Amino acid sequence: MFGLYPAGAQWVRHFSATRAPRDIGKILTGHAGFNAGIYHTPFGEHRGAVIAQSGRFLILAAAVNVAHAELAVVPDVQMQNLLWSFETGYANQWGPRELLALTGLDNWNQLIQRTSAEFAAVCQSVSDAVDGTLEKRAAEAAEAAAAAAARNAEATQRSAMPDSIVGQMFSNDDDAPWLPSDYFFDASEVQPCAH
């Protein structure tokens, strides 16, 4: 179905889903932060069409317009070539500066560790999308966010209400209890200046 990829079998993980590939791609982009795929075939015809991408990893579907998805998670073409070089003993053809320019890391140990961790995380997200866990977590998070927003709105509304004690404290305040008593005076009481 997908065939072999240059990096080797340890860098491919297969999934079978009871949902359409387009639906799984939407779930991954909507709830896991993946980028939507354009259904291109980077490894050639019949080797999988990209439905989503996360970093250097592609989520491929054997066929796009089907009811049940057959998926594979693989590194992108550039990472495939780097991993192939490492696996087949050609790692020394890549110097630290080249690795740094291509991956942001300057040695193979860091690259393999980071790539392995990212691969595991992407595979877990795809697995969660296939079995519906990702959508459940997103729904729970949305409910929690809505509840928090409701609590914040209620707290804001409570803080905007006038204080009942302050409102009763100055019941006969002549609309200006804070002005000094000598502020109010009658202008007729003022004596004209003597010349």
Domain tally, the chain: 2
User: Looking at the structure, do residues 83 and 127 belong to the same domain, yes or no?
Assistant: yes
Q: Per residue in 27-50, pLDDT tens?
A: 999 999 999 999 999 998 889 999
User: Looking at the structure, do residues 144 and 73 belong to the same domain, yes or no?
Assistant: no
Q: Can you tell me the distance from the alpha carbon of 67 to that of 10, in angstroms, rounded to the nearest whole number?
A: 28
Q: What is the pLDDT of residue 37?
A: 94
Q: What is the pLDDT of residue 145?
A: 86
pLDDT band per the 50, 70, 90 thresholds, residue 179: low
Look at the alpha carbons of 68, 77, 13, 45 in this order and tell me if their dihedral is positive or negative. positive
Q: What is the pLDDT of residue 186?
A: 57
User: Looking at the structure, do residues 117 and 149 belong to the same domain, yes or no?
Assistant: no
Q: What is the pLDDT of residue 177?
A: 58
Q: Is the pTM of this model over 0.75?
A: no
User: Looking at the structure, do residues 69 and 137 belong to the same domain, yes or no?
Assistant: no
Residue 183 lies in a domain: no
User: Looking at the structure, do residues 127 and 137 belong to the same domain, yes or no?
Assistant: no
Domain final position from 113, 131, 149: 131
User: Looking at the structure, do residues 115 and 138 belong to the same domain, yes or no?
Assistant: no
User: Looking at the structure, do residues 68 and 36 belong to the same domain, yes or no?
Assistant: yes
User: Looking at the structure, do residues 147 and 113 belong to the same domain, yes or no?
Assistant: no
User: Mean pLDDT, the chain, as a whole number?
Assistant: 85
Best CA proximity match to 54, nearest among 7, 101, 9, 13: 13
Domain extent, residue 96, equals: 9-131
User: Looking at the structure, do residues 117 and 137 belong to the same domain, yes or no?
Assistant: no
Mean pLDDT of 160-175: 57
Residue 68 lies in a domain: yes
User: Looking at the structure, do residues 46 and 60 belong to the same domain, yes or no?
Assistant: yes
Residue 158 lies in a domain: yes
Q: Per residue in 119-149, pLDDT tens?
A: 999 999 999 999 999 888 888 888 888 888 8
User: Looking at the structure, do residues 15 and 67 belong to the same domain, yes or no?
Assistant: yes
Q: Per residue in 63-90, pLDDT tens?
A: 999 999 999 999 999 999 999 999 999 9
